[in-house]
Structure 1
């Protein structure tokens, strides 16, 4: 699989067995933990058996949870307890659980798990020095591998939390990280359309990138995402002629939100329809990957739902343009989509009168949801209008005070600065939340029909590596 195809799918997983000679099992597992690329079947929280020696000594300390560490060589557990080294005891406790879970076979022991295909060879070379090996296995039937989204590149890495906040992408589905991130920042920019405010957000992103905000190091990976949101806000502000409000610094290149609200509203709904069409396309691909062509055809988030959406769109265009042929074609396509969706829904309802009633209700919900979800994108225009209105109020107050003497001029500067600060904070919060709401409820609800299981590799650093880290 080439790199371009891999960028649209979760990381490919391999079912593997970590095999080691019994005397070298501890050393091999320490290397697995340090590599941090294998999710072993036996989780570290599975405590059905009696606690091991390290676990008993850790509990006797009564210490708060700590970041586990592992010693490269077997430590003296009593010495660790005497020194209060809860971190090393916590690491040994996890190691004990995996050692007990290892399946013995003659002179060797093995643990099964999942590993990204790209890391299998590197892990095998790492374990070979200790006498261990990584053996590929056949994936068990009916079990999907865990999902790990690609974080290659700063831009993609900054957008991954957007998808993870919604849920875990199923392993068989496409990875929507990049298109979802682009859709989010464009919607944010439409609502936060002011070139001055966008430049402030862009400068904030560059400040985060510089690392000077040391109190919030967790924000640094998100700087490309924030910079993209600031960039789209600048572009929208240029189109609207907004620079810290209607100051006249920029000419109106497209439309003035306050002068042409209906045009902005229509554009927002049309843009939302394009995003919905894209989400249906992704949904069709995902349904095919999840259950084959039949599922892709009959699912309400597959071809059937897309046909209903297309039919309603053509019908609406035909009515607005007074084109009976277009409206009639839309009606036919929409009815065909409802028939397909109804067939799929009835097949899963159990049949009979109750199944038919349930199917009818679900089909009604499909139609209502398509209409309401499309209209929901009108909020892109509504909050864009709100931003423009607040900017206009601040600018009117500023100009009214500016020509009334030195004291009033100072008051005008204060009104301009504080008013824009309040508008920036309020609208950034509102636009961020509303873009997230549209992303999750209108788009992701069609892209995803199930939830995957996140890839949780076992990773515990060794003490020696930690000591040399600055």
Structure 2
């Protein structure tokens, strides 16, 4: 697989499934058993058969399948007299989207799929989105001790214990990544179940340097937004060519405005006139492209100016929104400080009660702050980043399947990469 293929959803091939009219049911049953063919959204075998085109005793239904499955599917259907006929991609038709799910990569796909279906032409953002998520989570949940607790949770999920959490087993790499990020930032902050002094402060103490933590949060937010504009520009190019990429607020025009505003702000802070001027020129150029694009959509000059001004306001608001990385990181540190100070105060007179306070406080802080950090990182991912990466909704890949109990249902190997189901054998 080339690196270009790895950055996109699974490549689909338009096909026609052909069979003698009297054998169509058996052939469609094999298709459903394989679980790797989307027959244009048909929900069942009978529906597919009803929409089949019949000529001279031969029935044909069209659909989509992963390109790598065509040869194996042809061999399977031949046993019942069926055939797979590759077709050209219909002009203007969008293929269904299926994210790659083999190995560890499949555990992060729900992060994207919960937001929406990636358009077939777009870049698959799941890997960079997962890295951005665990980075933001770690900044807000920076405690090495709590990170170790997350690693323990990941180990439990991987082992399938307790049984009620078995359905979340696939998320263990995601939880482990969040735990590692928390340990990293915990070491930077000198936090190990609070400011216990068990680890040194490698960078800064959040409680003593909140301004530095805020600057880091805004810098990380600016870098993540820059990456989102980069992916957005690539996606706009793939979706509509140069014009869409050039004039879109979520493409080159928006990225130029964002970068220009950032450079101008940096030049003003450093008192560098030339840097401020370069940033303003870049921002004005990007804003001019955005205005031109809005005018091309119709609605008049006034509406285009208002929409362009809204883009500028949103950029500022989006950057400021990343301040929550520092705010919630500081909150986490403050809760840990309170628990630790309470423990130290009780220890000389009531060590047993001090141990109880430390244990209960640690568990409460872990549960509360893990939930808050998870929600806030998700909020930043969806509202600040994905809103630039995605501008359209794709069509999910829905393969024809025989309705079987969940434990027996065939699974497309390109998505799950599991087991010895018929679809897994199909890909071998």
The yes-or-no answer on 1:381 pairing with 2:326 is yes
The alignment's C-alpha RMSD in Å is 1.6
Q: Which residue of 2 aligns with 1:184?
A: 133
Taking a change above 3 Å as real, the CA distance of residues 466 and 330 of structure 1, as seen in their structure-2 partners, is closer
Q: Which residue of 1 aligns with 2:49?
A: 99
TM-superposed deviation, 1:381: 0.5
Q: Which residue of 2 aligns with 1:397?
A: 342
Gaps of 5+ in 1: 45-93
TM-superposed deviation, 1:466: 5.2
TM-superposed deviation, 1:428: 0.4
TM-superposed deviation, 1:461: 6.2
| Residue among 414, 418, 436 paired with 2:356 | 414
The yes-or-no answer on 1:18 pairing with 2:10 is no
- The 8 Å contact of residues 30 and 462 in structure 1, kept in 2 or not, is answered as no
Where in structure 2 are the equivalents of 1:180-259 lying within 5 Å?
180-259=129-208
Structure having the higher Rg: 1
Gaps of 5+ in 2: 410-419, 422-428
Where in structure 2 are the equivalents of 1:361-376 lying within 5 Å?
361-376=306-321
TM-superposed deviation, 1:42: 5.6
TM-superposed deviation, 1:393: 0.1
Q: Which residue of 2 aligns with 1:64?
A: none
**Is the partner of 2:297 in helix, strand or coil?**
helix
Q: Which residue of 1 aligns with 2:302?
A: 357
Q: Which residue of 2 aligns with 1:78?
A: none
Q: Which residue of 1 aligns with 2:401?
A: 459
Where in structure 2 are the equivalents of 1:274-285 lying within 5 Å?
274-285=223-234
CA distance in 2, matches of 1:182, 1:268: 16
The yes-or-no answer on 1:175 pairing with 2:124 is yes
**1:123-150 Cα shifts (integer Å, max 9, x gaps):** 1111011110010112222111111011
| Residue among 132, 136, 140 paired with 2:90 | 140
Residues matched between the structures, number:
410
TM-superposed deviation, 1:24: 1.4
Q: Which TM-score applies when normalising by structure 1?
A: 0.85
| Residue among 208, 214, 233 paired with 1:265 | 214
Q: Which residue of 2 aligns with 1:348?
A: 297
- The 8 Å contact of residues 34 and 461 in structure 1, kept in 2 or not, is answered as no
**Is the partner of 1:460 in helix, strand or coil?**
coil
**1:281-336 Cα shifts (integer Å, max 9, x gaps):** 10110010011011111111111111111111011101111111111111111111
- The 8 Å contact of residues 195 and 336 in structure 2, kept in 1 or not, is answered as yes
**1:159-198 Cα shifts (integer Å, max 9, x gaps):** 0000001101111000000000000001000000000000
Highest relative contact order (Cα 8 Å, sep 6+), 1 or 2? 2
CA distance in 1, matches of 2:353, 2:41: 67
CA distance in 2, matches of 1:461, 1:358: 51
| Residue among 271, 276, 284 paired with 1:322 | 271
Q: Which residue of 1 aligns with 2:79?
A: 129
CA distance in 2, matches of 1:256, 1:7: 40
**1:87-122 Cα shifts (integer Å, max 9, x gaps):** xxxxxxx33222222211112101111111111111
TM-superposed deviation, 1:216: 2.1
